[in-house]
């Protein structure tokens, strides 16, 4: 239970109270939405990049007694975002994913996706701190790349499922968010003051 509370606090603090993150979550992404509706296959990421992004996201929001980024299919959200509204970040991702593998190979002689979870955490901690031995000079910095993929991971975990992430509402379930209510008439007065239950969106389906 303690780990679940910690994760929920992390998500709430990151998305709901982080102004820039909250704003980004609410930016319309019609092209990404359309792409996610068509397919869950990679559009921008290569098969190797897909595995690496999935592995990184899985360490940012890991699976334990609660589902994590893998179950939420965060990698699909990231792929569709990079193919559309966030296309400007494609070069940073391509360089950053190669650099992550370079750091991993120098440290553990394996690509990032092949490392044990503890080894992946060690690599990501170094990358987040901007002190990753083996990170190429020039281009995207280690810290900036980590900030970008961390933000995308949180987006993909908490976004509306129609955007390709938050599969089966797992992010909303973990965060305790019942889903949008405006399309069902909004919250009633009784729900607002706690006299009537708020039925989560997944219970309606």
Average pLDDT over residues 103-118: 96
Q: Answer whether 53's CB lies under 8 Å from 60's CB.
A: no
Give the pLDDT of residue 62.
92
Highest mean pLDDT among 45-54, 136-145, 184-193: 45-54
User: What is the spatial distance between Cα 139 and Cα 186, in angstroms, rounded to a whole number?
Assistant: 46
Residues in the chain: 205
Give the model confidence (pLDDT) of 38-59 as tens digits: 778 889 999 999 999 999 999 9
Q: What is the pLDDT of residue 58?
A: 95
Reduced to 3 states (helix: H, G, I; strand: E, B; else coil), residue 101 is helix
How far is 92 from 87, CA to CA, in rounded Å?
10
When pLDDT is averaged across residues 11-33 and rounded to a whole number, the result is: 55
Choose the weakest-confidence range: 29-33, 55-59, 165-169: 29-33
pLDDT beyond 80 at 186? no
- Res. 205: pLDDT tops 80: no
| The pLDDT value given to residue 24 | 53
**What tokens were used for 51?**
């595995």
Percent of the chain with pLDDT over 70: 73
| Mean pLDDT along residues 131-137 | 91
> What local confidence, expressed as pLDDT, does residue 188 receive?
54
Q: Are 95 and 61 in contact (CB under 8 A)?
A: no
Residue 26 has pLDDT above 60, yes or no: no
Averaged confidence pLDDT in the chain: 79
Residue with tokens 């991702």: 93
Q: pLDDT tens digit string along 74-106? A: 999 999 989 888 888 899 999 999 999 999 999
């Amino acid at each position: 239970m303690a780990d679940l509370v910690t994760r929920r606090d992390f998500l709430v603090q990151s998305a709901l109270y982080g102004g820039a993150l909250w704003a980004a979550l609410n930016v319309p992404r019609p092209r990404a939405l359309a792409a996610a509706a068509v397919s869950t296959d990679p559009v921008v990421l290569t098969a190797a990049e897909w595995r690496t992004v999935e592995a990184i996201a899985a360490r940012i929001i890991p699976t334990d007694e609660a589902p994590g980024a893998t179950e939420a299919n965060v990698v699909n959200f990231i792929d569709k975002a990079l193919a559309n509204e966030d296309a400007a970040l494609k070069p940073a991702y391509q360089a950053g994913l190669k650099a992550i593998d370079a750091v991993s190979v120098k440290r553990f002689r394996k690509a990032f996706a092949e490392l044990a979870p503890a080894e992946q955490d060690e690599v990501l901690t170094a990358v987040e701190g901007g002190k990753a031995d083996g990170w190429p000079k020039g281009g995207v910095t280690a810290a900036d790349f980590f900030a970008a993929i961390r933000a995308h991971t949180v987006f993909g975990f908490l976004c509306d499922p129609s955007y390709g992430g938050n599969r089966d509402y797992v992010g909303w379930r973990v965060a305790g968010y019942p889903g949008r209510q405006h399309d069902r008439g909004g919250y009633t007065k009784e729900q607002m003051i706690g006299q009537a239950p708020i039925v989560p969106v997944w219970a309606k389906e």
